[in-house]
C-alpha cells in the first residue's frame, strides 16, 4: 500500500493497518505481515515499515522468489525476482484457456506476475507488478517506490508512475501522474524537488529514477475493478508524452 495511505489511516486513530497479499487466482490470501519472535524486538519504525510492506507466507502456503529461469534469487533484500507459490487452494486452470494456464503454472509453480525481494529471515517485500516495472537503460525502476515517496507529499491526493517509451534513449523512462488533494496546488517542479530530497539524504533512490515528466491532473486517476490505478489506460493515454 502507498505510504501516504498507510499514514493517513493511522492518523485517524484506532485503525490498525496490516499488509496482506493475494490474487484472484489464490482465493485470495497467501501472505500477511506476520511477526516472528525475532521481529518483536525490532525498532518501532522498522515494525511499521514491515506492517506496511512486508509479508510472510501463511500456513500451508509455500512461496519462492525466482529469476527468469525459475531459480531462487539470493535472500539479500536486494535481488528482485518473481513471486511463485504453491498452496492447496490455488486455481488449477483458467476456464477454457489452456495456453494461459500453462503460462500461469510453468515449472509447477503458480506465477503471480509480482516482483519482490526476500531477506535472510524469509520476509518478502513486494516491489512491483512485473508488467509495471520500468525498464530503463538495462536496469529496473520500481514504480511503486516512486509512488510511495510522492504519495507522502502533503499536497498529493493520488499518484501513479508509469513507464513511457523514450524516443532518444530507447527503452522506457518514468512519468508520474499526480492528482492534487482538493484545494491544494502542486507543480511538476515541486514533485521533482521533493524526490531529490530522497536522492540527497542517503540515496534512498538514485537520481536517474527521477521521472522525466510529472503530469498534474485535475481528474481522478482511472481505476481497475479493484480500485487501483489502471496503468494500462495511463500508458496508452500518455504513450507519446516524451515525444512532444
Encode pLDDT of 43-86 as tens digits: 998 999 899 889 999 999 999 999 989 999 999 999 999 999 99
Q: Cell 484472484 maps to which residue?
A: 24
Is residue 244 in some structural domain? no
Its domain, for residue 34, covers 3-129
Inside any domain, residue 243: no
Q: pLDDT confidence of 3, banded at 50, 70, 90? A: confident
- Residues 186 and 120 reside in one and the same domain: no
Residue 16 shares a structural domain with residue 91: yes
Answering whether pTM is above 0.85, one says no
pLDDT in tens, 19-37: 999 999 999 999 999 988 8
* Residue showing cell 505510504: 3
Kindly report the number of other CB atoms within 10 A of residue 73's CB atom: 18
Pairing of strands 172-180, 213-216: parallel
State whether 24 and 97 are in the same domain: yes
Distance in angstroms (rounded) separating the CA atoms of residues 154 and 145: 17
CATH number for the domain harbouring residue 195: 3.30.300.30
Whether 33 and 122 map to the same domain: the answer is yes
Quick check: is 225 in a domain? yes
Identify whether residues 18 and 67 lie together within a single domain: yes
Instruction: Kindly report, residue by residue over 130-147, the tens digit of the pLDDT.
Output: 999 999 988 889 999 999
CATH number at residue 49: 2.30.38.10
Nearest Cα residue to 237 out of 219, 189, 128: 219
Amino acid at each position: 500500500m502507498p505510504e501516504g495511505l498507510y499514514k493517513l489511516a493511522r492518523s485517524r486513530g484506532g485503525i490498525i493497518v496490516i499488509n496482506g497479499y493475494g490474487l484472484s487466482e489464490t482465493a485470495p490470501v497467501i501472505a500477511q505481515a506476520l511477526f516472528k519472535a525475532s521481529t518483536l524486538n525490532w525498532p518501532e519504525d522498522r515494525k511499521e515499515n514491515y506492517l506496511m510492506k512486508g509479508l510472510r507466507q501463511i500456513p500451508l502456503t509455500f512461496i519462492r522468489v525466482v529469476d527468469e529461469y525459475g531459480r531462487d534469487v539470493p535472500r539479500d533484500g536486494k535481488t528482485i525476482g518473481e513471486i511463485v507459490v504453491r498452496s492447496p487452494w490455488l486455481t488449477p486452470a483458467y476456464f477454457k484457456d489452456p495456453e494461459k494456464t500453462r503460462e500461469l503454472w510453468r515449472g509447477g509453480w503458480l506465477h503471480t506476475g509480482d516482483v519482490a525481494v526476500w531477506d535472510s529471515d524469509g520476509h518478502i517485500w513486494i516491489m512491483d507488478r512485473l508488467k509495471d516495472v520500468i525498464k530503463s537503460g538495462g536496469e529496473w525502476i520500481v514504480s511503486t517506490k516512486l509512488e510511495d515517496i510522492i504519495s507522502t507529499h502533503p499536497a498529493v491526493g493520488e499518484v501513479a508512475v508509469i513507464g513511457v517509451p523514450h524516443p532518444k534513449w530507447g527503452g522506457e523512462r518514468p512519468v508520474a501522474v499526480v492528482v492534487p488533494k482538493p484545494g491544494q496546488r502542486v507543480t511538476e517542479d515541486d514533485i521533482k524537488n521533493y524526490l531529490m530530497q530522497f536522492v540527497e539524504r542517503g540515496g534512498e533512490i538514485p537520481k536517474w529514477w527521477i521521472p522525466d515528466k510529472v503530469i498534474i491532473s485535475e481528474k481522478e486517476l482511472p481505476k481497475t475493478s479493484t480500485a487501483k490505478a489502471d496503468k494500462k489506460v495511463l500508458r496508452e493515454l500518455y504513450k507519446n508524452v516524451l515525444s512532444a
